[in-house]
Amino acid sequence: MLEIIKPGLETSIQDYPGRIGYWNQGFPPSGPMDSWSFRLANLLVGNAAGAPGIEAQYMGPTIKFGADATLAVTGADMRPKLDDKPIPMWESLAVKTGQMLTLGPAVNGARGYVAFAGGIDAPLMLGSASTFHKAGVGGLDGHALKAGQSVPVKRANGTPGKKVKAERRPSFTSDKNWKVEAVRGPNDDWVDAAGHKQFLSFAWKLSARSDRTGYRLEGPDWTFTEKATNKAPEHGNFPSNIIDQGYPLGAVNLGGQTPIILVNDGPSMGGFICPWTIPSAAFWKLGQAKPNEFFHFNEISVDEAQALRRKLDAICSPDSIE
Amino acid sequence: MIYDEPRFLPGGDRYVLIEFGNEMNLELNFLAQGLASAIAQNKTKGVVETAPCFASMLVHYEADQISYADLVKELRGLIGNLGSPENIELDSRLFYFETMYLDPWTKACIEDYSAKITPKEYDPAFVARINGLKDEHQLVRVHSGTEYWVASLGFWPGLPFLMPLDPRAMITCPKYNPPRTWTPQGTVGMGGSASAIYPVATPGGYQLFGRTPVPIWDYERRFEAFGDSIVLFRPGDRIKFVTVDKAQYDDVEARVKDGSYIHNMVGYQKFSVKNYKAWVGSLDRSQRF
């Protein structure tokens, strides 16, 4: 059992890959935004890579242990401490009943992850423990963790002292700039050549009005092809308006003139075009970027995006633990 | 138009969007829903899930099980075997939804957006004006003057995407630029020619002009109409908005709160595509309510 002493800023229970199979009823998958760090945390404590664990964003929680446990902290550097003594990240360690884990503000990256041997024992809602807090779904009570809440952990023995091999850890930028892969489509033929060139050359600023549903980007206006302006009226008459359609997760969704990347808790359908899509293997970078940092997009093909995903899945395996 | 050949559009490493046409048309929705059913029956390898909408359908697939090229080949085959929607007759439930148009809550939301994000004209006045209607009161009459077809569910848990079945009630408007960061729960609004009910407070891009207290998703399963589902609607349902005043709205809201609300739904009707098309063909589409 864990006791939440301080909840931090929107600390939530997530599992991987989350709530899959309900996109046609409007349920997003949720799950950890940086699944690379999340999966490695689980593997460190001997869990299946997708077992329920904790995602902390920007400002971490303080957690008191009601029982002995094995844990691992990965992801953003939140200067983790056990009873005021700094502890290593990317490494499993044993904690005793009554000890206190504190995660502070994220120094590098934005989201920290904590896995516990056995995994968090949260009820499954449509097959997943992941929290989709804007709709009140999943986790313990549909919402982020609150002070005073008790979080049950399944009993299991982890092995302390396991480490993630150095070359298998994600590296987070320290200069506020992120290179992020993007795949053309599905609605790329609504944007003209100048618009695409601008998407790939501009440093897009991540807006503070961003959350786990969408990442709003600040930048110049988009330019369109004739298709976007000469169309049936039921699309809606703004150039980026299209008859409502299913959205890929990761879509760069053009809300009016504002590009919004649809992330883990994003909407499944809507009436704006999606000229680009961020592939799943690049989501961890989105998860670790803070507002006012910059994205530089580089184009890759569908095949390259699928190869990157295979590579990431291979990294998120017990081979990476020593 | 309905395309001769559907278009296959990639969405990153795990999605393909299949576009059947580029207009709002019941036949296109039947194609999208029909392909979703065919994939489910066929258990197409590598397909994780589908999301059919008005004129297109999104497929989520697992590239380790099927390549993009093979998936497109499979889907072409299934589409080729879809019958014509012409002879379809299906059970279609009709829900009556008590709705307060020109309500104070969406008005407050629009004012908040105007103050904090970007100034904009009051949505009902704007939608009435660009559709050549006399004023927002005629907008209410036109918008509530038709049954709506639940073409799909999406955007947010349980949110119905609605198409007006009476072409005399077909109006259009642009979506917000940029979208809102919040919308009141139960808001009724539209974008393009699609209408929707917002199930909970969410971001959104539609123009707003009404609010319903009737729940369309029920996490705690308090209402009988949901059966064993937590979302009220399924594709092929119909909705009729019934205009109510503030006192009636408050009464329904109180019944929802204490759990005694009974959804006003009829379930004895079949929807015939042939009859519908014949009826639409008989109308003078230039008429307005």
Pick from A207, A221, A220, A213: nearest CA to A289: A207
d(CA B159, CA A26): 7
d(CA B264, CA B212): 13
Chain B partners within 8 Å of A20 (Cβ):
48-49
Per the structure, the count of domains in chain B is 2
For residues B130 and B203, membership in a common domain is answered with yes
For residues A17 and A156, membership in a common domain is answered with yes
d(CA A182, CA A274): 12
For residues B138 and B218, membership in a common domain is answered with yes
Range of the domain at A72: 2-166
Average pLDDT over residues B201-228: 91
Range of the domain at B32: 2-87
Is A8 within 8 Å of A103 (Cβ atoms)? yes
Residue B11's SS3 state is strand
d(CA A48, CA A31): 15
Chain A partners within 8 Å of B178 (Cβ):
216, 255-258
Q: Does A131 touch chain B (CB under 8 A)?
A: no
Q: How far is CA A161 from CA A91, A158, B87, in A?
A: 6, 10, 67
Per the structure, the count of domains in chain A is 2
For residues A138 and A65, membership in a common domain is answered with yes
CATH for A199: 2.40.100.10
For residues A145 and A225, membership in a common domain is answered with no
CATH for B44: 3.30.1360.40
Is B176 within 8 Å of B68 (Cβ atoms)? no
What confidence tens digit (pLDDT) does each residue in B111-142 have? 999 999 999 999 999 999 999 999 999 999 99
Give residue B228's pLDDT.
Answer: 86
Residue B286 lies in a domain: no
Is B89 within 8 Å of B273 (Cβ atoms)? yes
Q: Does A233 touch chain B (CB under 8 A)?
A: yes
Give residue B221's pLDDT.
Answer: 82
Q: Which of A102, A134, A166 is at the close of a domain?
A: A166
For residues B211 and B272, membership in a common domain is answered with yes
For residues A270 and A181, membership in a common domain is answered with yes
What confidence tens digit (pLDDT) does each residue in A103-158 have? 999 999 999 999 999 999 999 999 999 999 988 899 999 999 999 999 999 989 89
Chain B partners within 8 Å of A253 (Cβ):
none
Average of per-residue pLDDT values in chain A: 97
For residues B95 and B113, membership in a common domain is answered with yes
Q: Does A250 touch chain B (CB under 8 A)?
A: yes
Residue A320 lies in a domain: no
d(CA A105, CA B128): 49
For residues A142 and A89, membership in a common domain is answered with yes
